[in-house]
Amino acid sequence: MKHLPNIAGGLLGLAFHIFLTNGGGLLDPPVVALSLLAAYLLWVGRKKFCGLLNN
């Protein structure tokens, strides 16, 4: 649960670049790094994340 704000922040940043800048800056290194880190945290905690979905 402690990683949820990190994942939400990464998704919010990704949504900003997709919808508000029309994809501009989507492949900038910080955006890519945050997206990869969020995906990694989601992968590592996938059992706990799926447990949240089942409740």
| Distance spanning both ends of the chain, measured CA to CA | 14
Backbone angles phi, psi at 3, to 5 degrees: -95, -10
- Is the model's pTM score more than 0.85? no
Identify whether the C-beta of residue 41 lies closer than 8 Å to the C-beta of residue 3. Answer: yes
Between 3 and 47, the higher pLDDT residue? 47
Residue 3 pLDDT > 70:
no
Q: What is the pLDDT of residues 10-50, one digit of tens each?
A: 677 777 777 887 777 777 888 788 778 878 887 888 887 77
Identify whether the C-beta of residue 45 lies closer than 8 Å to the C-beta of residue 3. Answer: yes
- How far apart, in whole angstroms, are the C-alpha atoms of residue 13 and residue 10? 5
> Residue 4 — pLDDT band, cuts 50, 70, 90?
low
SS3 27: coil
